[in-house]
Amino acid sequence: MSHPTPKVDFQWVNTDYTNRVVADLGALDKGGAVLVEAPPGAGKSSLTVSVSKALADADSKLRLPIVTQTNEQADDLVASLLKRHPDLPVTRLVGGAGGSNAMRTLAAANPDLVISSKHDDPAVKGTQVVVATARKWEFVRSGQQQSGLIQGYDLALIDEAYQMRSDALLGIATMFDRLMCVGDPGQLDPFTTIDDALWKGLEYAPSRTAMGTLSAFHPDLTPHQLPLSWRLPPSAAGIVSRAFYPYTGFSAGTDATQRSLALGAGGGAPEDDALDRAAAEGWAYVELPEKLSVRTDAEVATQLARLVRRLLDRGADVVDELDATGRKLEAKDVAVVVAHNDQVHAVRFALSQLSLDPDSLVVSTANKVQGREYEVVLVWHPLAGRRDATAFHLEAGRMCVMLSRHRQACIVVGRAGADRLLAEFPDSDPIFLDEPEKFPDGWEANSLVLDHLAGFKV
């Protein structure tokens, strides 16, 4: 007797992996961990929310800490918890300055939400889920250590664990007997301003990712792999998977017929070819003439601004699996992603010169848009106009973030000669004994991306 094939949609996948993770957590011994790895837009935060709810339902006395890496991530997670499960008692543990405006607004609509800076408040103890940043949890641990009243937890969930440095995990690990860690291995490594060569090769090196340290001490751990991206369209999932996730891979959770970006009529403007190609095929590569330039290349910034201006002037109807009837593309649906802060200022200035409010859309660095998504993304290629290809500009995680924020289309602006840079400047990063080889390799990933973009050159 044949069995019907289950419908593979987001809810089905989320429920399936929630059940798997909860079962593994239930079987964990003290000191154990469950790891979950996921590509961009796979539903990591949704999985964290679902697992939190399942654990809370299974144990009414549970107090579940959730560790995030930034206040924005913590706020987003609290909002998701309350949106999907408004009956779940939640605390947002904040710093001395209090909660954000977003949290205060959310608390006004959800009277049961507790916002407090004090971990031991009776109101906090009356909730089942407590969300705070890693720094806040370390502050809590330090205070308990000084008072001699250590309060441990049976289990904690760590969101975006690949964005967490090892030293941040080591600062709070003694508070929790068991861990569930969720993260995207293709994102940017945690940032440090110091030379970390002294600790390279050590299993507990403070600049390693939290996931890297856990894997080093528990080599038998096999992460769960979320298989689908619900953000990236099929036109993008293939190249992002090949270039940045070569050993696990993933595919798009949607098909090409479910999404479309229908532009308004064009009038022969120079930017129309790029916009039309991006709308039809998901990609466009605007390659300016080869030229050595300063980092804030005014021509690249102006080209990006003109593309944004023309896109918003023409207008577009966005259709996807969430809204089959379609809606108008707004400025907030558009992002310009660059490598450096001074390039952000250059693009914002170019937008203002075209009478476009820079605050009406997102103009930011790759570091700051991790975890975010937009309908259309424009990218300043990191190698544009450079005389050398440094490790910073070739970092696979940076390019991965840049090319994986969009739901509909991505337009890359660069300069000719990037392929020559890759050929003439081979990888010269030092090799450290016992330091795990970093995959994917930035040189190879960037080469694959350039080959892909060459097919969409306008």
pLDDT for 428: 64
**Exposure of 387 by Cβ count < 10 A (0-12 exposed, 13-18 middle, 19+ buried)?**
exposed
Q: What are phi and psi of 294, to 5 degrees?
A: -70, 165
pLDDT for 5: 39
**Average pLDDT score over residue span 98-116:** 92
Q: Per residue in 204-253, pLDDT tens?
A: 788 888 888 888 888 888 999 999 999 999 999 999 999 999 988 999 99
Spatial neighbors of 383 by CB under 8 A, at least 6 apart, are: 389, 393, 394, 414, 415, 418, 421, 422, 446
What distance in Å separates the CA atoms of residue 458 and residue 455, rounded to the nearest whole number?
A: 9
Q: Which tokens go with 379?
A: 């990218």
User: Sorting pLDDT into bands at 50, 70 and 90, what band is 4?
Assistant: very low
User: Sorting pLDDT into bands at 50, 70 and 90, what band is 82?
Assistant: very high
Spatial neighbors of 314 by CB under 8 A, at least 6 apart, are: 263, 264, 265, 266, 272, 275
Query: Which residue, among 38, 429, 369, has the nearest Cα to 230 in the 3D structure?
Result: 38
What distance in Å separates the CA atoms of residue 362 and residue 358, rounded to the nearest whole number?
A: 8
User: Sorting pLDDT into bands at 50, 70 and 90, what band is 1?
Assistant: very low
Q: Which of the two residues, 412 and 370, has the higher pLDDT score?
A: 412
Cα angle for residues 181, 244, 376 (degrees, 5° grid): 95
**Average pLDDT score over residue span 377-389:** 95
pLDDT for 66: 97
User: Sorting pLDDT into bands at 50, 70 and 90, what band is 427?
Assistant: low
For residues 393 and 381, is the Cβ–Cβ distance under 8 A? no
Query: Which residue, among 71, 103, 72, has the nearest Cα to 90 in the 3D structure?
Result: 103
User: Sorting pLDDT into bands at 50, 70 and 90, what band is 268?
Assistant: confident
Q: Which of the two residues, 286 and 426, has the higher pLDDT score?
A: 286
Query: Which residue, among 213, 230, 232, 229, has the nearest Cα to 221 in the 3D structure?
Result: 213
Q: Per residue in 11-54, pLDDT tens?
A: 999 999 999 999 999 999 999 999 999 999 999 999 999 999 99
Q: Look up the pTM and report it.
A: 0.90
Select the CATH number that applies to the domain covering 10-226 from these four: 1.10.274.10, 3.90.1300.10, 3.40.50.300, 3.20.20.150.
3.40.50.300
Classify 95 as helix, strand or coil: coil
pLDDT for 437: 67
pLDDT for 54: 97
pLDDT for 149: 80
Does position 362 have pLDDT exceeding 90, yes or no?
Answer: yes
Beta-bridge partners for 46: none
pLDDT for 274: 97
Does position 424 have pLDDT exceeding 90, yes or no?
Answer: no
pLDDT for 399: 96
Cis? peptide before 6, omega within 30° of 0 = no
Does position 438 have pLDDT exceeding 80, yes or no?
Answer: no
Q: Which of the two residues, 133 and 188, has the higher pLDDT score?
A: 133
Query: Which residue, among 300, 277, 272, 246, has the nearest Cα to 415 in the 3D structure?
Result: 300
Sheet holding 323-328, edge to edge: 260-263, 316-320, 323-328
C-alpha dihedral (438, 441, 443, 444), degrees to nearest 10: 170
pLDDT for 2: 40
Task: Please name the amino acid found at residue 359.
Answer: D
Task: Please name the amino acid found at residue 65.
Answer: P
Q: Which of the two residues, 207 and 449, has the higher pLDDT score?
A: 449
pLDDT for 369: 93
Tell me what percent of the residues of the chain surpass a pLDDT of 90. Answer: 73
What distance in Å separates the CA atoms of residue 325 and residue 331, rounded to the nearest whole number?
A: 20
Q: Per residue in 284-319, pLDDT tens?
A: 999 999 999 999 999 999 999 999 999 999 999 999
For residues 341 and 162, is the Cβ–Cβ distance under 8 A? no
What distance in Å separates the CA atoms of residue 131 and residue 71, rounded to the nearest whole number?
A: 10
The CATH 3.40.50.300 portion of the chain extends over 10-226
- 209 half-sphere exposure, CB direction, 13 A CA radius: 22
Residue with tokens 């720094």: 135
Q: Does domain 234-455 have CATH number 3.40.50?
A: yes
